[in-house]
Structures are given as C-alpha cells and as structure tokens.
Structure 1
Amino acid sequence: MSVRAVVFDLDGVLIDSEPVWEEVRRAFVADHGGQWRPDTQDRLMGMSTEEWADYLGSDLIGDLSTEYVAYEVIDRMSRRYAEELPLMPGATEAVRRMAEDWSLGLSSSSPRALIDLVLGRIGVASLFKATVSTEEVDRGKPEPDGYLAVARQLEVPPELCAAIEDSSNGLRSASAAGMRVIAVPHPRYPPASDALALAAYVATSLDDVTPAVISGLDAPV
C-alpha cells in the first residue's frame, strides 16, 4: 500500500536546533550550579518538555521545580530563535515539495510555543494538517505516542505514513508507531547504529528526500 502522509520531525530535521538546545540547557544547568554529564545530551534528545525539565531540575541541579526549569529554558530558546532561526539546508523546500503530493504532519519534542513559532516564521504552518508536541501526549520519544497522535489527527493509518527523523530516539519512536522511516542523520549528533537500522531509507540531506523516495518506500514488516 502506498504512502498517504509524510510526518516530519522538527529539531534536527527542519531546524538545526540541537546545538542551540544543548548550549541553552548547558548554560542553564551551569547557572544554577548543576553538573552536565557525558551522556546528558543523548538522554535529552526526544524527551518531552516535562521529562527533560524534571531531569535537569532534579537529576542535574537537584532542587528546581519542573515548571520553573521548563519556563526559563523555553524562554531562553524563544529569545535565541528571535535573534536567528537556524534552518536546516533545504528545509522549507522539502516541506513544500512533500505538500504537493501528501498530507503533512509533524511530531516534535519541542514545546508547542516553539513549534508554532518556527513553522510560522518559515511560512509553512498552513501546509501541516496535524502537529503534535510531546507535551501533548503521555510519553516522549522513543515511545510512539507522538507519532500515533499525528496519524490519528491526519486520519491515516500509521503504516501508511512516512516519518522523517534524525535522532536515535526519533527513529525508534517512528518505527515503534509502525511508520515507514526515513533517516536524515545530523552530522554532529549521529544516531546509534541499531536505531539507524530501523530506517527504510537513509538520506544524506533533505534534498535527497524526493517524491520518488517516498513513493518507493516498502511497507513496514
């Protein structure tokens, strides 16, 4: 059966935000006397807002509320995006290219405020029929909740959706939802080999994600 919808991730796929998230979170932890650990960035990728705010406030700092951490970090991110929006090469073109043939969705670990800010700034918000933040589901990536929620909103079975992801937890999430997965690995944050193996197609950039690639994806086993 052919693909009927394409679902994008945001961070690391449409916007090169992971370096910004890392810088902002590192600075926040340091400002509050916490300790950034060697595996912290890998652990954070894919977490929902509540999950990462609790991790920073409880595990890395020790005495800050989840609500305070989330508010302060998201505010810092919003101010950074207002200064400069670090789009991935070919992001806007990829969205417009996919929108010509398929319904579009987005499943992101970013908070709703940042999703709406980014899509509005780059002028593609109207092209997405469904967008879900992991704030709005029970579990963040690598669990499938966000992708399943997008499929429900699109009214397309998950197995007829193609997901475009970059991170280990993102790839695992889309695969667990039963979607056909395209990996566009971020060079600074490459996914683990077992996660990459879940992809039906591995692209070097968004320019490689063409209608022919989407149409040629095999159904998940």
Structure 2
Amino acid sequence: MTIEAVVFDLDGVIIDTEEVWEEVRRAYVAEHGREFLPDSQDRMMGMSTAEWSGHLADEVGVPLPAARVAADVLGRMAARYRESLPLIPGAVETVRALGKRYRLALASSSARILIDQVLETAGLTGEFEVTLSTEEVARGKPAPDVYLTAVAKLGLTPEVCAAVEDSSNGLRAAGAAGLAVIAVPHGVYPPAPDALAQAALVVGAVTEVTPEAVGALR
C-alpha cells in the first residue's frame, strides 16, 4: 500500500494565522465586555465557523447571535489577509513539490471565503483537486468529517492518504479518519501529547514534508 494523495490543513500549515485569529477574536470579545474562557483558544482551534461563533456567543457571552459574530469576525480576518498574507516560509514550494507526485486536497476549518482568498493570493488555487471547509460538513475538527469527505471526493480511501496538520484538533481529526498523519507542531500553540501521538511523522517545519518523506509513511 502506498500513499496516493496528501490532504493539507491551511491555518498553521500553509499560513501562520493562529495568532491573528486569537488577536482578532480576543479584541472582538473585549469590545463586547467579555473575555475568553481559560480553554477558549485551544477549543476553537479546528472548530468550524458555526462552532466557534456559537462558543463566543453562547459560552463566552458575546451578546449577539452566532451568525452575526461569525460575519463580524470573518470580515475582520478577510481585511487582515488583504493587508498581508502570512504565508509560512517554504509552504507554497512544499505544496507544489508534493503536487508533482501526489494528488492534493485541502481540509480546513477556515470559512470558504477565507480559503478561496488565501489560495488565490498565494497562487495555489490550481494545485488542489479538492478544497473543503468544515462549514461544508456536519462536524468540525476533532471529528473526522472534513477528512473523510475530502478523501471521498478524491475517490480514494483514507489508507492511501496522508494528512499534514499542526493543531491538536486537526491531528485528532486526521487520525480518527484513518489517514497517515504528519504533524508540523506550531511553536506558539503546540499540540497536546495525545494529539501528537496520532502522528506517524513529526517534523520541525513544513519544508521537511518532502515527497520522499510522504512516500516512506506506509
């Protein structure tokens, strides 16, 4: 059995936006006289738009409907991306190198509007056969839905696919889906030990995810 496709996460793997997400959401919450719960940041990493906006509205206490919270925060994130796209060094080159040997998909917790904007700005739109947001499946990460759906859209099975992830919930999602998991731990938001245990390969940077490294996974 050999790997036929690689499924990338977006935030924390191709673009370094976890700190941007935290900054934008914390500021938004503070404007409404609230503050994050102790575990809010960890819980929201990997959540779908509906899930994290629901958390901010229902649990953190932002006094607005979740749909309004989502629209406001996504608007601010899109504005930040237009100002400057925080690409991770070597990520674009890594995607293109893997695309010469493997089929590629993207399984992200970002909203569709942000996924499309990032890929267009980075010049990566044509590299992926399938792009999927957790908005478009029943459950966000750590549930396996987005990975299972991406693999199905490729017409493959999880056993012949690899995932490239950074966050705890992303690693758990890819592991639960049955993909061979490559972990690229984020320096500021390192994954939990149980999540990292899902990985067949742990690398220090996305540039270490070479075609040869992927080929050795199975």
> Which blocks of at least 5 consecutive residues in structure 2 are unaligned?
none
Residue 129 of structure 2 corresponds to 129
Per the TM alignment, residue 57 of structure 1 is displaced from its structure 2 partner at its CA by 1.1
In structure 2, C-alpha distance between the alignment counterparts of 1:184 and 1:41, rounded to whole Å: 19
Instruction: Give yes or no for contact 2:161–2:180 (8 Å, CA) kept in 1.
Output: yes
In the alignment, residue 64 of structure 2 is paired with which amino acid?
A: L
Paired AA for residue 135 in structure 1: E
Task: Work out whether residues 47 and 141 of structure 1, in 8 Å CA contact, stay in contact via their aligned partners in 2.
Answer: yes
Query: Which residue number in structure 2 is paired with residue 15 of structure 1?
Result: 15
Deviation at 1:79, TM superposition (A): 0.3
Aligned residues: 218
**What amino acid does structure 1 have at the position aligned with 2:116?**
D
Cα drift, residue 63 of structure 1: 2.6
Question: What is aligned with 2:103?
Answer: 103
- What is residue 170 of structure 2 aligned with on the other side? 170
**Counterparts of 1:171 and 1:62, CA distance in 2:** 29
Query: Which position in structure 1 is the counterpart of 2:51?
Result: 51
Q: Give the alignment of 1:56-67 within 5 angstroms.
A: 56-67=56-67
Partners of 1:163 and 1:179 within 8 A in 2: yes
Q: Which amino acid aligns with 1:74?
A: L
**TM (normalized to structure 1)?**
0.97
Cα-to-partner distance string for 1:114-133 (whole Å, 9 max, x where unaligned): 00000010001111000110
Q: Which residue of 1 aligns with 2:79?
A: 79
Query: Is the 8 Å Cα contact of residues 185 and 203 (structure 1) preserved in structure 2?
Result: yes
Look up the equivalent residue of 2:193 and give its one-letter code: S
CA distance in 2, matches of 1:26, 1:136: 25
> Which residue of structure 2 aligns with residue 92 of structure 1?
92
For residue 77 of structure 2, give the secondary structure of its aligned residue in structure 1. helix
Provide runs of 4+ in structure 1 moved above 6 Å.
Answer: none
* Counterpart position of 2:191: 191
SS at 1:95's partner residue? helix
Counterparts of 1:115-126 in structure 2 under 5 Å? 115-126=115-126
Residue 75 of structure 1, CA deviation: 0.1
The corresponding residue for 1:152 is 152
Could you tell me how far apart the structure 2 residues matched to 1:189 and 1:63 are? Answer: 28
Once the two structures are TM-superposed, the CA of residue 89 in structure 1 deviates from its matched residue by 1.4
* Superimposed CA distance per residue, residues 165-197 of structure 1 (whole angstroms, 9 cap, x where no aligned partner): 000100000010000000000000000011111
TM-score (norm 2): 0.98
Measured in 1, the distance between the counterparts of 2:89 and 2:140 equals: 26
Pairwise CA distance, 1:38: 2.1
1:181 aligns with 2:188: no
Residue number in structure 2 paired with 1:205: 205
